[in-house]
């Protein structure tokens, strides 16, 4: 079992919903993003989703795109991202970390080398949005053989014919994208999300976590109430971009986590 599997088993036993927080590695700099990352567990975050900055983030909206550009301008790299994880792990051996990014940097590094370094650093799972299930032999299967969860996204356009293929080699949890489009594009609506979550859960025993379009404690509670938890990314990244102090960003994160946990 990975840390992700363990965490979701604990949450199930406690009857609680999960709160997942996304941040961009190196935004606005390594020191600030590491300080924020270290504060997330105490703020109530159950799983950390750590973005790897990339030059062509096709699934991300302007807020996260700009965060990636700031990180790249500050010379953030995959090496430095993995070092961030090592530095975090020096003080936290339990909080699950999911690395979210795109395949190009992994391919350029070499899959075998990347997986070895990722597991050594303390990564627990991967979300690689530009590798479809048809390419599972490329990274998904090797990642799971290396002991990492490979988390797949399902979307409003994932119909009943496509869903079994999406779920086939997914592990850890299923990430349901609540809206059609890029991150931060619109608000998630529980009335739309609920039936889709139920449809996915009818075909898998994995937790279903909903992301995209969640910006407030109220919406975190609403969405977590009809799923196994929720993910917030753009709203947190936007707080960082506003120049807010780390402690103020963490207070905002705690309000979101409290909302999800009250579902």
Q: Which residues are catalytic?
A: 49, 60
One DSSP character per residue, 206-225 reads S-EEEESS--SHHHHHHHHT
**Closest Cα partner for 99 from 61, 146, 62?**
146
The gap from C-alpha 66 to its chain's centroid, in whole angstroms, comes to 18
Q: Please list, residue by residue across 225-251, b when 16 or more beta carbons sit within 10 angstroms of its beta carbon and e when fewer do.
A: ebbbbbbbbbbbbbbbbeeeebeebbe
Query: Which letter does DSSP use for residue 211 in this model?
Result: E
User: In whole angstroms, what is the distance from residue 16 CA to residue 59 CA?
Assistant: 29
User: In whole angstroms, what is the distance from residue 87 CA to residue 82 CA?
Assistant: 9
Q: Specify whether the CB–CB gap between 70 and 244 falls below 8 A.
A: no
Q: Please report, for residues 36, 59, 171, the alpha-carbon distance to residue 241 in angstroms, rounded to integers and kept in the order given.
A: 13, 19, 32
**Closest Cα partner for 17 from 35, 38, 44?**
44
């Amino acid at each position: 079992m990975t840390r992700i599997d363990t965490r979701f088993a604990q949450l199930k036993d406690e009857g609680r919903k999960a709160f997942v927080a996304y941040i961009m590695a190196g935004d606005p700099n390594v020191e600030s993003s590491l300080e924020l990352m270290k504060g997330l567990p105490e703020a109530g975050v159950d799983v950390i989703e750590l973005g790897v900055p990339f030059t062509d983030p096709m699934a991300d909206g302007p807020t996260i795109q700009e965060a990636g550009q700031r990180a790249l301008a500050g010379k953030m790299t995959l090496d430095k991202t993995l070092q961030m994880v090592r530095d975090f792990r020096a003080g936290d051996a339990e909080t699950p970390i999911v690395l979210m990014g795109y395949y190009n940097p992994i391919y350029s590094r070499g899959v075998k080398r990347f997986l070895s370094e990722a597991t050594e650093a303390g990564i627990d799972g991967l979300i690689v949005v530009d590798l479809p299930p048809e390419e599972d032999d490329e990274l998904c299967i090797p990642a799971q053989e290396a002991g990492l969860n490979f988390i797949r996204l399902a979307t409003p356009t994932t119909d009943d014919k496509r869903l079994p293929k999406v779920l086939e080699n997914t592990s850890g949890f299923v990430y349901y994208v609540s809206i059609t489009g890029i991150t931060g594009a619109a608000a998630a609506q529980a009335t739309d999300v609920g039936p889709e979550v139920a449809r996915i859960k009818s075909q898998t025993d994995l937790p279903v976590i909903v992301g995209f379009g969640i910006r407030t404690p109220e919406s975190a509670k609403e969405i977590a109430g009809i799923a196994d938890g929720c993910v917030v990314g753009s709203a947190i990244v936007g707080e960082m971009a506003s120049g807010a102090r780390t402690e103020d960003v963490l207070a905002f994160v705690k309000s979101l986590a409290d909302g999800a946990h009250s579902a």
